[in-house]
Amino acid sequence: MSKIQLLSPRLANQIAAGEVVERPSSVIKELLENSLDAGASQLEIEVEAGGVKLMRVRDNGSGIAQDELALALSRHATSKIRDLDDLEAVATLGFRGEALASISSVSRLQLTSNTADQDCAWMVKVEGRDMEAELSPAAHPQGTTVEVRDLFFNTPARRKFLRTETTEYARIEEVVKRLALANFSAGFSLKNNNRVVHAWRPAHSQAEQERRAAQICGPAFMESAVYVDFERAGLRLWGWVALPTFSRSQADLQHFYVNFRAIRDKLVTHAVRQAYQDVLYHGRHPAYVLYLTLDPASVDVNVHPTKHEVRFRDSRLVHDFIFSSLHRALADVRPDTSSTSAPISRLIPQVVPQPDAPPHQAPFNFSAYRPEPAAPAGFSVAEQMQVYRHLATPASAIERGIAVSVEGDQVPPLGFALAQLKGVYILAENTDGLILVDMHAAHERITYERMKCQYDVSGIQSQPLLVPQSLAVSEKEAGYAETHVEVFTHLGFALERMGPETLLVRQIPVLLHRADVETLVRDVLADLIEHGQSQRIKEEMNSVLGTMACHGSVRANRKLTIPEMNALLRDMEATERSGQCNHGRPTWVPLTIGQLDSLFMRGQ
């Protein structure tokens, strides 16, 4: 082997650049983060030839002093941390001091900057070949402009791995969008090949922030999104989550920020996915723009060269907070809180529905209301109001502690039933227009939620296995099973460690007597090792309850009376997650008078 020797500064910087500068979008990310850390309120980005020919970022931040310009291009030179305490509580986007040195080692870089207390601006130039900085006076307002030309001109092997100009520009655009979503107080403009593509003004109010989010994520997302804001134990989660009916075929509209740093984290993804588990159509992905803020000392951002991953000091607390917050937010979306003006096409997921189970006419019993004489299908809303005022308080609502009533001429969110269409849909009229309800999907959700509540009240019934089941596991899995035995006990399992790599299952929940116990236990252990907790058993139980609810719900072609249809509507308004059935399909969609007028071209 060769002798050990120090690498040259040029080669060391080029090796470091391989970690920081993967492609043009990496350069844009680093430069914009520096601008934001400098307090800039306006950022202008210019790109030519997908960023390979030119990338220019101009800001109005605090600027860099003349005597610090050359130093700014050195490795591990930064103004953002001073000692280990600063590193353990990083409050800036950048902190390592490697970006400018890495970028300049593989490009021709020019940096011009001015501060508030300088008479003039100064410019520094450097090329990757010799790394010698040239300093000269320049004209520039307060702030900084960085020009990066001919990326990878001195490392042609790296340049060969770049994609087409269109692809590289698309990556740059995605970086700018992510940072614009995280920094509402700053304005952004993006110019591609001398053409302005995006221009976003600073957004301070919630309405302005929602307008920017709609411009970046699309108006359909915001029309189907619910604003959330939860705070607990020093954690705050706020932002927008789309209704399950706005699910995506790919995980391409998921933005999550920790202290306004865009991250991709398995723990976060798992928590969000679990929150949607009970309402999301199989194989679909949720859409969201969410911000988690917490004490910087509670999160380690120095775990990956690109800073896309973080490590939480109390990962279980963060996971439970995200899951419980979003789970509650989605449960609280009911007909009286969700929008009734979104276009009908945006409320229906573009997926191929699963076939319904074979027809089964279970005893149909809306326990909500006492029988009433069937009202003629042609009753008006005003006439039905008279009937509705005399209906008894629903028994199911009493059990949930909900008093359902109508005061004066108030019309409920889902209105009153007009008729039944083809034995499948309920047509109802409310103050905005027409409501279409899939009666089986709606009743399935109502039945499912009631069964879950009853199951939670009565507790988990367990049964001992006639022959205990032995499982061969790794020593690590056995250790986790022994440490978290209370997790299994709480969910109806009796689990014992019989040896270094052996577990014994003595008891299982009655509801899961047909489940694959070995696979379920292994999956739970995998979740405990990966995330510190698991919802596998709960999900398996809910799956069984969902199947039971599906078979116990009213079927298609079942003729309902007007009072029965109204009873279903009222129960939907009082039931959590009633906007989707157990499979994630919508249970109701609105058609406003304006939409109906548009369909028939009235007023045109």
Predicted confidence (pLDDT) at residue 138 exceeds the cutoff of 90 = yes
Amino acid sitting at position 567: A
Give the mean pLDDT of 136-151.
Answer: 96
Looking at the structure, tell me whether residues 268 and 191 fall in a common domain: no
Q: Is 67 helix (H, G, I), strand (E, B) or coil?
A: helix
Cβ contact 301:307 at 8 Å: yes
Lowest pLDDT segment from 6-20, 102-116, 300-314, 572-586: 6-20
Using CA atoms, how far apart are residues 70 and 126, in angstroms rounded to an integer?
9
Q: Examine residue 435 and state whether it is found in any structural domain, yes or no.
A: yes
Using CA atoms, how far apart are residues 151 and 128, in angstroms rounded to an integer?
10
pLDDT at 17: 63
CATH of the domain at 97: 3.30.565.10
In terms of pLDDT, which residue wins out, 85 or 301? Answer: 301
Q: Examine residue 303 and state whether it is found in any structural domain, yes or no.
A: yes
pLDDT at 130: 59
Using CA atoms, how far apart are residues 58 and 187, in angstroms rounded to an integer?
12
Q: Tell me how many degrees the CA angle 106-111-113 measures, rounded to the nearest 5.
A: 160
Looking at the structure, tell me whether residues 144 and 195 fall in a common domain: yes
In terms of pLDDT, which residue wins out, 26 or 131? Answer: 26
pLDDT at 571: 93
Tokens for 73, please give them.
């291009």
> How high does pLDDT run on average in the chain?
83
Amino acid sitting at position 468: P
In terms of pLDDT, which residue wins out, 407 or 473? Answer: 473
**β-strands 187-192, 42-48 pairing:** parallel
Q: Examine residue 338 and state whether it is found in any structural domain, yes or no.
A: no
Residue in this structure with the two tokens 């896309």, named with its chain if needed: 308
Using CA atoms, how far apart are residues 11 and 105, in angstroms rounded to an integer?
9
The DSSP annotation for 90-106 comes to --SS--SS-HHHHHHTT
Sign of the alpha-carbon dihedral angle for 187, 193, 195, 198? negative
Predicted confidence (pLDDT) at residue 360 exceeds the cutoff of 50 = no
pLDDT in tens, 298-314: 998 877 666 677 889 89
Strand spans (E) along 461-587:
462-472, 494-499, 502-509
Looking at the structure, tell me whether residues 315 and 422 fall in a common domain: no
Predicted confidence (pLDDT) at residue 63 exceeds the cutoff of 80 = yes
Looking at the structure, tell me whether residues 186 and 70 fall in a common domain: yes
Alpha helices in 144-226 (DSSP H): 156-159, 165-182, 206-217, 219-223
pLDDT in tens, 258-291: 999 999 888 899 999 989 988 887 788 999 999 9
Looking at the structure, tell me whether residues 321 and 347 fall in a common domain: no
Calculate the alpha carbon distances from 180 to 169, 173, 228 in Å.
16, 10, 20
Calculate the alpha carbon distances from 111 to 31, 60, 447, 542 in Å.
11, 14, 65, 59
Give the mean pLDDT of 47-66.
Answer: 96
Q: Examine residue 67 and state whether it is found in any structural domain, yes or no.
A: yes
Model confidence at 458, pLDDT cuts 50, 70, 90, reads confident
Lowest pLDDT segment from 58-72, 81-95, 221-235, 412-426: 81-95
Model confidence at 355, pLDDT cuts 50, 70, 90, reads very low
Looking at the structure, tell me whether residues 543 and 569 fall in a common domain: yes
CATH of the domain at 270: 3.30.230.10
Residue in this structure with the two tokens 């870089």, named with its chain if needed: 109
In terms of pLDDT, which residue wins out, 544 or 38? Answer: 38
Model confidence at 30, pLDDT cuts 50, 70, 90, reads very high
Q: Which helix (H) or strand (E) holds 43?
A: strand 42-48
Calculate the alpha carbon distances from 273 to 280, 326, 354, 486 in Å.
9, 10, 21, 24
Looking at the structure, tell me whether residues 362 and 324 fall in a common domain: no
Q: Comparing C-alpha atoms, which of 87, 98, 96, 97 is closest to residue 296?
A: 87
Amino acid sitting at position 187: G
Using only the alpha carbons of the chain, give its radius of gyration. 30
Residue-range definition of the domain harbouring residue 62: 9-200
pLDDT at 365: 44
Using CA atoms, how far apart are residues 326 and 331, in angstroms rounded to an integer?
8
pLDDT in tens, 403-445: 374 455 688 999 999 999 988 999 999 999 999 999 999 998 9
Predicted confidence (pLDDT) at residue 194 exceeds the cutoff of 50 = yes
Lowest pLDDT segment from 42-46, 369-373, 384-388: 369-373
CB count within 10 Å of CB 390 equals 8
pLDDT at 588: 92
Looking at the structure, tell me whether residues 421 and 389 fall in a common domain: yes
